[in-house]
Amino acid sequence: MGNPGAAVAPGWCVRAMPALFVLLIAAGCREAPVAKIPVPARDRQATTLTPEQTGFLRIEEVGGGGDAPSAAVPGRVAYRPQALSSVGAPFSGRITSVSVRPGERVKAGAPLVVLQSADASAARSQLEQATARASAAEDQLRRQVEMMARGVGLEVERVEAEARAREARAELERTRRAVAFAGGGQGSEVILRAPAAGVVVSVRASAGAIAEPGGDPLVELADPGRVWVVAEVPEPEVARIASSQRVQVRVPAIDAVLDGVVDGIGSAVDAASRRLPVYIALKAPPPGLTPGMLTEVRFAGSRDGLSVPVSAVLIKDGHRRVVYLQRADGKFEVREVRTGRSSGGRVAILEGLTAGERIVVKGALLLDGEAELLL
């Protein structure tokens, strides 16, 4: 004898089979007459079925989305902003030598580029002069203080000496800060050094070229251990993404699948691609993971989200998504919903249902012969 559930043909994917024809097939299998399941009118909000008719339906409670990953979206490995450092020219000058090449690992303080700069030479000369003036002003102030202590000095002269010493100290500090930009070297020589350990990402300096303050960086460095993944999420799927959401990242270049979490969400959708950047922190970046590598990113379902079997959602009027809800009195009513991405036979419910409500997840087409299944 056939299974009563066979009346709901799994091959129905577009338009519902006439309800009467389906029931006749089921009746033949059960060798007993089965009443026709009524098809509600377009404006009817609730339908009552007999227990025998309800037996052709499968009804489940609405549950969470679980952790099933979404469909893959493209991404790429990139350096975090904090991983990058740039070295530019602090003074105008001519480049005399370049000590590094792209891809080279350097230690903090390692020499990168050497300049010859007249401005640096002038700044160092000013520092020497400011040091001498500050020393003379301090000596003059000490003499005035000693004379006041012996009772032979004038208060007005002591105040003037104190003011000159204060001005000299300020000028000395200003010139010291200016010369500090020159780094190592003497006279007109300026040695640019690595501010931190890392890998040389790019070198735009060449011997003989003129370097100017505020121009392009001469050398860029990066910490290879501080990388993340930038995923490009389609605009309709942005609502499913949340901070700290778990993520699975596949990197084909190194044949690795990595775990991560959403670390940040971009603030603007790209006008051309209609995608939003989502930044993913990796829990354990493996060796060989290089910025620029392409990735496939899958976002785990939000634990607070809802999902239902795809077969539970019908399309009415060509665009409305609806489900059939079983009320506490046993009647069925239409509930319009807003759906998200579908994956693994389930579809995310963004609006319209709450957890614990009972809906028809199989056989809903028997309640509405004019609807279509969500494909």
Structure tokens given for 261: 């979490």
Per residue of the chain (375 residues), give pLDDT as tens.
444 444 444 443 334 444 433 333 344 444 333 333 333 344 345 666 666 677 778 888 887 554 445 678 999 999 998 899 999 998 899 999 999 999 999 999 999 999 998 888 888 888 888 889 999 999 998 988 888 888 887 888 889 999 999 999 998 888 888 777 666 667 888 899 999 999 999 999 999 999 998 888 999 999 988 999 999 999 888 877 888 888 999 999 999 999 999 999 998 999 999 999 999 999 888 888 999 999 999 887 644 467 888 888 988 887 888 999 988 888 888 899 988 766 667 787 888 888 888 899 888 777 776 777 665
Q: Tell me the residue type at 356.
A: G
**Helix (H) or strand (E) segment spanning residue 106:** strand 105-106
Tokens 């000095």 map to which residue?
A: 153
Q: Quick one: which of 327, 315, 318, 331 has its CA closest to 368?
A: 315
Q: How many CB atoms lie within 10 A of CB 75?
A: 25
Q: What pLDDT is stored for residue 186 in this prediction?
A: 75
State which fold the 118-181 domain adopts. Helix Hairpins (1.10.287)
The Cα–Cα gap between 312 and 320 comes to 14
Give residue limits of the domains in the chain.
4-66+305-373, 73-80+226-299, 118-181
- Whether the CB-CB separation of 372 and 16 falls below 8 Å is answered with yes
Per-residue model confidence (pLDDT) at position 292: 92
Report the alpha-carbon distance of residue 233 to residue 209 in Å, rounded.
43
Hey, what's the torsion of the CAs at 144, 147, 152, 154, to 10 degrees?
20
Q: What whole-number distance in Å separates Cα of residue 310 and Cα of residue 256?
A: 31
What three-state secondary structure class fits 258?
Answer: strand
CATH of domain 4-66+305-373: 2.40.420.20
Give CA–CA dist 221/87, Å, rounded. Answer: 8
Beta-carbon neighbour count of residue 166 at 10 Å? 12
DSSP 57: S
Structure tokens at 146: 């000693």
* Closest listed residue to residue 207, CA positions, set 325, 91, 293, 113: 113
Confidence (pLDDT) at 20: 37
- Return the half-sphere exposure (C-beta side, CA atoms, 13 A cut-off) of residue 346: 18
The CATH superfamily of 73-80+226-299 is Efflux pump adaptor protein, beta barrel domain (2.40.30.170)
pTM score above 0.75:
no
Q: What is the pLDDT of residue 177?
A: 81
User: What are the residue ranges of helices labelled H in the chain?
Assistant: 19-30, 51-54, 118-150, 155-180
